[in-house]
Amino acid sequence: MARCDTCGNDYDYSFVIVRGSEHFTFDSFECAIHKLAPVCGHCGVRILGHGVEVRAPGGLHGSIYCCAHCARSAGEGRVVDHVQA
């Protein structure tokens, strides 16, 4: 059995997630999401899908938002919900 890094539960069906050189042990997907999912830079919701990342030109990392609306609300005017054909 292994102890969950989020809640501390010692559970015989725990699992490990590896992110880069970091190893995390969890007893549920809920605990994994709570610890690892990124947070929207505008509204603070946990992002479970792709989200919207806005990078500065040449930047490796940028700000991440749950949707285009939040990105625009944070001042990122280039982000749209749908591409016009």
Distance CA 39, CA 9 (A): 24
Query: Which DSSP string do the residues of 2-50 spell out, in sequence order?
Result: EE-TTT--EETT-EEEEETTEEEEESSHHHHHHHHS-B-TTT--B--S-
Span 61-78, pLDDT tens digits: 789 999 999 999 999 888
Q: What does the domain layout of the chain look like in residue ranges?
A: 2-36, 37-85
Task: Read off the pTM.
Answer: 0.78
Span 36-58, pLDDT tens digits: 999 999 999 999 998 999 887 77
